[in-house]
């Protein structure tokens, strides 16, 4: 990693933490540090499941429990089974008390005031520049939070992605999508040593997938590459493709192949920009209009 890039990120982090008051013992003069204030905000007037809070904030169970106990002892929240409100009793939910709702509203107003104080010294043009830059930084940071790792195709998260993939292509293909007309990809083909399914997650939620089938005496095949609309444009598809290529190369594959439909224009552009060249049809996939190949080992 470039040392100058590392230094620039560190300078940015120092500036932001100082400007937003993250270094203060009492965040926005509310008598509690930033971690507690952020957790109170995330619980919000509607309440939130503890598991959701843990995933959303990226906190380990022990640290989250300590923060919840502090807010509970201060009389701001209650934590109990969802069954108390007619839900699943096995699910723990954090709910604001009357005092908690009052402090949440105060935090909401103070957050507006802090944002205004950041913008106020700037000219209108510079305010627009700052907000646009913040939006870009936010998108890039979200992209950097995406985790890509192997996942059994039988995992519920993988199943959810594969169902979303099928719905997406059914919507985009000219004549819809009938799995009975497509060449099947069985689970056993996507587990080592036959292949792998990679799952992309953001805050523990599945937002993309991609798979590869390895063949001892033939090119490996890339299958089922899908990215949720909510994270399109963050480079998740390119990261998945690169991870699949590395997985195949590490296991001795020299050539990768894939087929795709003419309506998946973003995917076609991705493959071409990643060095895949169009070739003659190598299979009889009913929904394929383009076939690509890439040499990954000389």
pLDDT confidence band for 83 (50 / 70 / 90): low
| Confidence tier at 100 by pLDDT (50, 70, 90) | very high
Is pLDDT above 90 for 90?
no
- Could you tell me the pTM of the whole model? 0.82
Tell me: the pLDDT tens digits for 159-198? Answer: 999 999 999 999 999 999 999 999 999 999 999 999 999 9
> Tens of pLDDT along 116-128?
999 999 999 999 9
- Kindly report, residue by residue over 233-259, the tens digit of the pLDDT: 899 999 999 999 999 999 999 999 999
**Residue 153 banded pLDDT, cuts 50, 70, 90:** very high
Residue 298 has pLDDT above 80, yes or no: no
Mean pLDDT of 129-153: 93
Query: Which pLDDT belongs to residue 197?
Result: 98
pLDDT of 67: 95
- pLDDT band at residue 87 using 50, 70 and 90 as cut-offs: low
Mean pLDDT of 42-70: 92
Average pLDDT over residues 146-152: 96
Residue 191, φ and ψ in degrees, nearest 5? -125, 145
Rounded CA-CA distance 223/169 in Å is 13
Question: How many percent of the chain have pLDDT more than 70?
Answer: 97
Higher pLDDT, 227 or 88: 227
């Amino acid at each position: 990693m470039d040392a100058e890039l590392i230094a620039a990120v560190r300078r940015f982090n120092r500036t932001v933490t100082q400007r937003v008051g993250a270094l203060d013992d009492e965040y926005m003069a509310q008598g509690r540090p930033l971690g507690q204030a952020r957790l109170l905000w995330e619980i919000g007037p509607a309440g939130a499941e503890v598991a959701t809070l843990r995933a959303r904030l990226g906190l380990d169970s022990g640290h989250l429990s300590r923060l919840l106990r502090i807010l509970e002892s201060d009389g701001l929240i209650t934590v109990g089974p969802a069954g108390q409100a007619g839900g699943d009793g096995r699910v723990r939910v954090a709910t604001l008390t009357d005092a908690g709702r009052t402090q949440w509203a105060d935090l909401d107003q103070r957050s507006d005031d802090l944002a205004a104080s950041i913008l106020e010294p700037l000219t209108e043009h510079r305010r627009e520049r700052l907000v646009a830059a913040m939006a870009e930084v936010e998108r890039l940071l979200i992209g950097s939070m995406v985790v890509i790792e192997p996942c059994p195709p039988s995992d519920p998260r993988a199943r959810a992605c594969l169902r979303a993939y099928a719905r997406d292509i059914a919507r985009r293909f000219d004549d819809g999508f009938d799995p009975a007309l497509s060449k099947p990809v069985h689970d056993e083909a996507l587990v080592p040593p036959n292949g792998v399914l990679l799952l992309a997650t953001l805050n523990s939620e599945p937002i993309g997938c991609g798979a590869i089938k390895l063949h001892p005496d033939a090119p490996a095949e890339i299958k089922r590459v899908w990215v949720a609309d909510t994270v399109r444009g963050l480079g998740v598809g390119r990261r998945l493709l690169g991870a699949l290529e590395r997985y195949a190369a590490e296991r001795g594959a020299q050539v990768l192949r894939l087929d795709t439909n003419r309506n998946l224009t973003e995917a076609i552009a991705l493959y071409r920009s990643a060095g895949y060249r169009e070739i003659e049809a190598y299979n009889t996939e009913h929904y394929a209009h383009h076939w690509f190949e890439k040499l990954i080992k000389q």
